[in-house]
């Protein structure tokens, strides 16, 4: 465990080194967040409720979507791709440490750094320029935190599996970009899920049903 904690610590220090990248990411996410806020304000056209969703709730959704998109960044697929492309994958696999465990620890370190570098500044900017996001019921906070952690794990596993395509394609950068934007679209990061067509929503509910059943059995 000490090896992985050392990797996490090293990755945090590495992430805190590149200040220009930090400022660039904050600026990019801020522009996207503010643009989305004005876009949805224009769509509401002065109406307070559209499709059972209030304009105030939509503003909160935009801020939290921008914040969470920072936390769900993974680099495992790029690392696998670089390892395969450079031919170092064989030596990486014989190291006395789990290859995917090392990649996971690196991403955890990056996420911890991003919490202070990007998430908190973006949350502060959104609170000042759009609105202060507030939960309808503070008792839902533990469930929210657990769902975010599960989302990160699922997203990381998908990225790790997708990174394995590098063994076939050698360079999977284009596929990674397609996967990234598809996940953003289908997860509701760009367009809220409740605005999707009924067929898409029902299909997503179908995918969730087996998992929901397992939770009920475990309970």
Write the pLDDT tens digit of every residue in 143-168: 888 888 888 888 888 888 888 888 88
- Do 77 and 180 contact (CB within 8 A), yes or no? no
pLDDT attached to residue 173: 78
Confidence grade of residue 207 (pLDDT, cut at 50, 70, 90): low
pLDDT attached to residue 19: 66
Average pLDDT value for residue range 121-129:
88
pLDDT attached to residue 49: 79
Question: What is the rounded average pLDDT for all residues in the chain?
Answer: 79
- 156 or 2: which carries more pLDDT confidence? 156
**What's the helix, strand, coil split of the chain in %, to 5?**
80, 0, 20
- Do 97 and 188 contact (CB within 8 A), yes or no? no
Q: 53 - beta bridge partners?
A: 50
Q: Which of 50-59, 151-160, 176-185, 198-207 has the lowest mean pLDDT?
A: 198-207
- The model carries a pTM of 0.77
- 196 or 149: which carries more pLDDT confidence? 149
Residue 8 has pLDDT above 70, yes or no: yes
pLDDT attached to residue 209: 56
Confidence grade of residue 217 (pLDDT, cut at 50, 70, 90): very low
List CB contacts of 51: < 8 A, sequence separation 6 or more: 194, 195
CA–CA separation, 7 vs 10, rounded Å? Answer: 5
Most confident of 93-107, 148-162, 186-200: 148-162
pLDDT attached to residue 60: 86
CA–CA separation, 155 vs 107, rounded Å? Answer: 12
pLDDT attached to residue 216: 33
Average pLDDT value for residue range 17-33:
79
Residue 208 has pLDDT above 70, yes or no: no
pLDDT attached to residue 143: 87
State percent of the chain over pLDDT 90. 0
> Hey, what are 200's tokens?
């898409």
């Amino acid at each position: 465990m000490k090896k992985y904690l050392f990797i996490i610590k090293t990755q945090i220090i590495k992430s805190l080194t590149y200040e220009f990248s930090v400022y660039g990411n904050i600026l990019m996410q801020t522009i996207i967040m503010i643009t989305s806020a004005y876009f949805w304000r224009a769509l509401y056209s002065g109406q307070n409720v559209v499709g059972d969703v209030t304009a105030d709730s939509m503003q909160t959704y935009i801020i939290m979507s921008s914040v969470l998109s920072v936390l769900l960044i993974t680099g495992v697929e790029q690392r696998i791709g670089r390892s395969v492309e450079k031919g170092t994958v064989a030596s990486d696999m014989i190291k006395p440490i789990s290859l995917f465990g090392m990649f996971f620890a690196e991403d955890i370190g990056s996420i911890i750094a991003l919490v202070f570098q990007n998430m908190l500044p973006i949350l502060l900017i959104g609170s000042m320029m759009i609105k202060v996001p507030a939960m309808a019921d503070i008792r839902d906070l533990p469930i929210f935190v657990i769902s975010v952690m599960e989302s990160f794990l699922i997203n990381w596993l998908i990225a790790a599996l997708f990174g394995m395509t590098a063994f076939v394609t050698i360079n999977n950068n284009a596929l990674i970009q397609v996967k990234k934007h598809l996940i953003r679209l289908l997860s509701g990061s760009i367009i809220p899920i409740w605005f999707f067509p009924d067929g898409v929503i029902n299909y997503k509910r179908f995918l969730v049903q087996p998992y929901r059943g397992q939770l009920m059995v475990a309970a």
